Amino acid sequence: MSSTKITNIDAVELQEGIQNAAFHEDDDDTSDASSSREQQATSVSVTRPEENEYTQIKPYAGMPKEVLMLYSRKACYRVPREIIFWLIIACTLALIAMTITIVALSPRCMSWWQLSPVYQVYPRSFKDSNADGVGDLKGIKEKLSHFEYLNIKAVWISPFYKSPMRDFGYDVEDFRQIDPIFGTMEDFDELLASMHDKGLKLIMDYIPNHTSDKHIWFQLSRNGTEPYKDYYIWVNCTRDKPPNNWVSVFGNSTWEYDEVRQQCYFHQFLKEQPDLNYRNPRVIEEMTDIIHFWLKKGVDGFRMDAVKHMLEAAHLRNEPQVDTDQDPSTVDTEFELYHDYTYTQQGLHEILTNWRIDLDAYSREPGRYRFMVVECYDYEEIDKTMRYYGTSYVTESDFPFNFYLLYLPDDLSGNQAKSLVHLWMSNMPKGKWPNWVVGNHDKPRIGSSAGTEYIRAINMLLLTLPGTPTTYYGEEIGMVNVNVSVIQDPFGQHDPLQQADAHSTVSQYRALSLLRGAELALSRGWFCFVWSDVNVFAYLRELDGLNKAFLVVLNFGEDTTTDLSSVTELPDTLTVHLSTVPISQKTFTKSRIPTSRGQGMLLEYSTNQRFHLNHASECYVSEKACYLPALDILYKC
């Protein structure tokens, strides 16, 4: 009995040993060790129930691979391992599927030109850094903190090219040089670098239709020097008889006789601004190279000036008169002709589309999208303006400027405001992005044309409508027109920056700009008309899945009280989020919302009811999205 137990113990201890072929015991112990191993081997062979069977009860540290493999095959170890393995596979596949689903269902991320107002700077009257009486690039650099304060991310700077300044910089002598009154190219590079360091985007003015008559191209063209001979539009004529009845934007004939070449050249603006000949492929190539020049410097986009004038009909026929009974010799303004042969000619959109492709080539770097907006005053022919969005197959501009709110002061009222907003929204192609302009360098300031008491309400309109607002410098502080000693621009005044006591106006602008960026309902939600009359224009902003919504009530008339009890989707009580005038009351019932002359109110409310579901004809959205509060994400719906 005792002998057998000892042998079993010895067998276990033997199996726990690890053989090492490189190990040799001392010679004195060799015979003893050999004898001991023989006895143990004999004991093992006698007592093991089956040859090669392993009887160790538990795994132990340092076990060899062969032993480990024996344990790994046992069900108690194999089954949990397989469960964990397949759980990892399932979780990985679920994560991949969820990622694909989120990406597929997520709406497109908004770009920088959609997230921020665009702020237009007219450089010569914005900030003078060297006390010479003219604003400059260094002055703009000094005021970058102002843009940051306003939550402005995109700054459009009007022309600063080298120019004789007959049209305040829109007559370009050299597209690759900075005019000395604004500074140097080094100043521009420093401004651009500083803006990018602060996360600001720079949009340049690009003037493709014409140059200055001082431009080297024109000087060589009038001399008949190749290849510049046909860079401009030249036709035979006499001093007293132009080729046709075409009239310039600034009045009188579009043709000017040149003594050097003894022909007439074509100009749709001042006679010092000859039109380029876009029927000449070399001209397109030259102007495209200029775009590349500035893109390589790092500019973030272009505002393309007067694009509808770029092409003219080659046949040079007279344009039809608006009043057929008018004496043809008295026709001398652009509004007395139908511009069938000088505006928006065939081939124009192909040129712009190719420029869009060039900008896209520079947009491949993440976060460096290159923006393109075009300027075109088409007045009642809004369908022509909408064509600049491109088509469902071809992208052109990100948007054409919407100038229709410039005419709000002509008949200032709630009905007029709704009419002008509806004009754009109802004609805009589905899925495109709207934009709004209430002032620019071509028109008197909105504070002068509409009245200073309406500036704050107009700013609230600008910053709560869907799309991208464009602010002309000074509107955020309530600037108005001032008298200046010399006005060279035929379309209005260019004001020196005023020092205005407008703290409340700029504070309101900043608050609305920040709110627009922070609230999904304002940045990408539904826009719905709710009310308009001679005094008040009201609309709401809502987003599916989001309980918070906003009602905007703007008074463009006289003191009044608005009853919105018929709007069943609105809750009975509305909370004042922001008012343009101080008020003590913080909540209103929807049946009684009082507003004073020029007051704007942003009212906040919570509801699960959606107005747009029952009023499709009154509502618009550029890119539909829904909010999922459980995951705090947006998804396509």
Return the active site residues.
Answer: 305, 375
**CB of 562 within 8 A of CB of 595?**
yes
**CB of 562 within 8 A of CB of 531?**
yes
Our CA angle for 187, 193, 198, nearest 5°, is 125
CA-to-CA distance for 326 and 398, rounded, in angstroms? 41
Tokens of 167: 């049209």
Q: Of 410, 440, 438, 434, which Cα lies nearest the Cα of 422?
A: 434
Tokens of 510: 């900043």
Tokens of 637: 């719906």
Tokens of 488: 């060279």
Tokens of 240: 């007293």
Q: Extract long-range pairs of 175-180: CB within 8 Å, 24+ residues apart.
A: 175/290, 175/293, 176/290, 176/293, 178/137
Distances, alpha carbon 400 to alpha carbons 127, 347, 386, 565, in Å: 28, 18, 7, 38
Our CA angle for 195, 196, 201, nearest 5°, is 75
Tokens of 328: 């043809």
**CB of 201 within 8 A of CB of 155?**
yes
Inter-axis angle of helices 185-197 and 281-297, nearest 10:
60
CA-to-CA distance for 69 and 56, rounded, in angstroms? 13
Tokens of 223: 């001399």
Cα torsion through 340, 171, 371, 284, rounded to 10: 60
**CB of 312 within 8 A of CB of 232?**
no
Q: Of 334, 351, 212, 204, which Cα lies nearest the Cα of 275?
A: 212
The sign of the dihedral angle between the CA atoms of 107, 112, 113, 119 is: positive
Q: Of 382, 396, 415, 441, which Cα lies nearest the Cα of 533?
A: 415
Q: Of 511, 551, 519, 537, which Cα lies nearest the Cα of 416?
A: 537
Residue type, 510: R
Distances, alpha carbon 462 to alpha carbons 194, 451, 582, 605, 623, in Å: 28, 16, 20, 21, 20
Tokens of 400: 């054409």
CA atoms within 13 A on the CB side of 475: 32
Q: Of 518, 524, 521, 429, which Cα lies nearest the Cα of 467?
A: 524
Distances, alpha carbon 425 to alpha carbons 383, 527, 583, 606, 613, in Å: 12, 10, 32, 26, 18
